[in-house]
Homo-oligomer: A and B are copies of this chain.
């Protein structure tokens, strides 16, 4: 099957073609890139929802319940407004577990609940590097799912590091999940994540300490929100203009709600779905939707550009030049900064 067919079959709803395209895209093959180019004009419709939180917060169960709710509630309300149920894709990303298969394990549990529903598609991100990092690979995978016609793409990530912040930037709506009893100083550790949160969830709300967790979140939010505007940004990207910072849309301010859920019995799931819908409506009314879209696509462009420039630069260097200059650094004759000057000079 050639690449035109592959993209066409994805657009026609062929799940096998979709799975193949995602693998090709993740692996950065020529076929994958061509399919992505063909599919890209069909993107821009899906609501991209990021969901992040530390391990132990019950994040994956929450995602499962949310998707089950979307599928069921849509069916229930179908008689009323005749709308088809939302089609939902889940992208599970775990940048901290590259080889133990954590994401793949979660995927299996998930499959038990959601398998067989043609309106649900689940993808675990196991690869990194092919497109220049997990954030770039996730971005490309999300584009394919968007083009494939999913109404909602849930991007689930683990942890609170910079990678997670980068991945969360791919979303229109970012949900941060907390749980009681996971440490007494979330104020400090979560501040970076809280700044990008649109919806806060305290899951496992039946556990003792839920009030403390909620209070700590409220306190941290108070600290995080009025701080001077700061562009969360992957290190190598330097040029997103201030007005494009995707998390301060013009218009009325969005105050992130703090919701309690108990994923295992479904408590609070309808309210979470409502909050997600409300945030989408807010973005559409304030122009934030376009703003986040722009910030996201510019970040993706910059990342890809950077990788391309390095690849091109390398291919132009004479054999041995790089090693030669690196040796000067290892022997402490020249600093890494001087080495960069030298490489650029020799590349001319």
Given contacts A95-B192, A105-B188, A235-B303, 6 further A-B contacts (CB under 8 A): A36-B335, A54-B183, A55-B189, A98-B232, A301-B325, A305-B310
- Selected contact of A305 from candidates B184, B301, B340, CB within 8 Å: B340
What residues of chain B lie closer than 8 Å to A293, measured between beta carbons? 330
Q: Taking CB as reference atom, which chain B residue is nearest A136?
A: B235
Indicate whether A162 sits within 8 Å of B43 (C-beta atoms), given known contacts A297-B330, A329-B297. no
- How far, in whole Å, are A100 and B136 apart by their CA atoms in the complex? 28
Q: Taking CB as reference atom, which chain B residue is nearest A305?
A: B340
Q: Does A47 contact B (CB under 8 A)?
A: no
Q: Taking CB as reference atom, which chain B residue is nearest A339?
A: B301
Q: Does A158 contact B (CB under 8 A)?
A: yes
What residues of chain B lie closer than 8 Å to A151, measured between beta carbons? none
- The residue among A133, A195, A335 with the most chain B CB atoms within 10 A of its own CB is A335
- How far, in whole Å, are A325 and B302 apart by their CA atoms in the complex? 12
- How far, in whole Å, are A165 and B133 apart by their CA atoms in the complex? 14
CB pair A235 B133 closer than 8 Å:
yes
CB pair A235 B329 closer than 8 Å:
no
Q: Which residues of A from 293 to 319 have beta carbons under 8 Å from B?
A: 293-294, 297-298, 300-314
- Interface stretch of the complex, out of A76-84, A221-229, A259-267, A270-278: A221-229
CB pair B305 A43 closer than 8 Å:
no
- Selected contact of A332 from candidates B44, B54, B304, CB within 8 Å: B44
Kindly report how many copies of this chain are found in the complex they form together: 2
Q: Does A218 contact B (CB under 8 A)?
A: no
CB pair B55 A235 closer than 8 Å:
no
CB pair B100 A223 closer than 8 Å:
yes
Indicate whether A334 sits within 8 Å of B40 (C-beta atoms), given known contacts A55-B186, A129-B233. yes
Q: Does A193 contact B (CB under 8 A)?
A: yes
Q: Does A343 contact B (CB under 8 A)?
A: yes
CB pair B335 A183 closer than 8 Å:
no
Indicate whether A96 sits within 8 Å of B192 (C-beta atoms), given known contacts A161-B159, A301-B329, A303-B236. yes
- How far, in whole Å, are A326 and B159 apart by their CA atoms in the complex? 31
Q: Does A2 contact B (CB under 8 A)?
A: no
Indicate whether A235 sits within 8 Å of B134 (C-beta atoms), given known contacts A96-B162, A161-B162, A162-B96. yes
- Selected contact of A37 from candidates B97, B309, B335, CB within 8 Å: B335
Nearest CB of chain B from residue A120's CB, rounded to whole Å: 23
Render A104-146 as a binary contact track against B, CB cut-off 8 A, 1 for contact. Answer: 0100000000000000000000001100111110010001000
Render A163-194 as a binary contact track against B, CB cut-off 8 A, 1 for contact. Answer: 11100000000000000001111111111110
Q: Does A238 contact B (CB under 8 A)?
A: yes
Q: Does A320 contact B (CB under 8 A)?
A: no
Q: Does A99 contact B (CB under 8 A)?
A: yes
A-B contact pairs, 22 of them (CB 8 A): A36-B337, A42-B332, A56-B189, A96-B165, A98-B191, A100-B220, A100-B227, A102-B189, A128-B235, A129-B233, A129-B235, A129-B238, A132-B238, A133-B234, A133-B235, A135-B235, A160-B161, A161-B164, A297-B326, A298-B329, A301-B329, A309-B313
